[in-house]
Amino acid sequence: MEFIQSLNELLFPSRCISCSALGLSLCSKCRRGWNPHIYITHIGRGKESLRVTSSVLYSPIAQKVILAAKENHLERADVLISSAITHSLENLLREEWVDYLIPIPSRKSATRLRGREFIKEMAGPASEKFRIPLQSPLLHGRRVRDQSGLDLQGRRNNLEGAFVVEMEVGLYGNAVLVDDLVTTGATLIEAARALRYAGIQVIGAVTAALAQPLR
């Protein structure tokens, strides 16, 4: 088994996900653009307010990592994202008790194309490490447009009423949302709104990356 792994590494050497330099998943130069810290931001207002804990700032390098995982199923990119989510959750757990994690569901078309529920899979390692179960009560209730290119108000309008909750799930305790990236927060706010309307207590969210908010 070790021989086969060594042969694969010789024939197909690892390259940096961002710049394609030979070596690690991210070379030392590109690692500066994916260097886990802790970033806390608050989205929404009043009853819709939600605290989001993230690990890395969104950048061209972070974009390549996320796309490599989402679109190309690159395992090394998956590890970077799931590790960042785990890092974010570890920080949140220092202050809050969490009973279960709720990943943001992909659109059905995206799930079919990728062959997997991306965020649910990325949240798996964090769930296992901290022994916090994953629950998936959220569903897309209607078709939504791709968020790319939409401004803040456009994203809010696009997602308003987009999620529904499977009521028979019967979840109790503190829930935390999980996503790969927070930009305007529109997705997380709408997901939290649907869950809270169904009587589920959402105390926060964790993401791998945090982008500068759109106007």
Give the tens place of pLDDT for each residue, 45-62.
877 789 999 999 999 999
Provide, rounded to the nearest whole percent, the portion of the chain with pLDDT above 90.
51
Token reading at 29? 């130069």
71 and 20, same structural domain? no
- Whether residue 77 contacts residue 65, with contact meaning beta carbons closer than 8 Å, is answered with yes
Using pLDDT thresholds of 50, 70 and 90, give the confidence band for residue 7.
Answer: very low
41 and 28, same structural domain? no
125 and 20, same structural domain? no
pLDDT for 165 beyond 50: yes
42 and 26, same structural domain? no
Do the domain assignments include residue 215? Answer: no
pLDDT at 201: 94
79 and 96, same structural domain? yes
Tell me the C-alpha distance between 214 and 4, whole Å: 47
84 and 8, same structural domain? no
Tell me the C-alpha distance between 142 and 163, whole Å: 8
Using pLDDT thresholds of 50, 70 and 90, give the confidence band for residue 25.
Answer: confident
- Supply the range of the domain harboring residue 14: 1-32
Half-sphere exposure of residue 206, counting CA atoms within 13 Å on the CB side?
30
- 24-33's contacts with Cβ under 8 Å and 24+ in sequence apart are 25/76, 25/77, 25/79, 25/80, 26/61, 26/65, 26/80, 30/61, 32/61, 33/59, 33/60, 33/61, 33/62
Residue 84, helix vs strand vs coil:
helix
88 and 122, same structural domain? yes
Q: Residue 135 — φ and ψ, nearest 5°?
A: -130, 150
170 and 109, same structural domain? yes
Report how many domains make up the chain.
2
156 and 63, same structural domain? yes
Residue with tokens 């961002």: 18
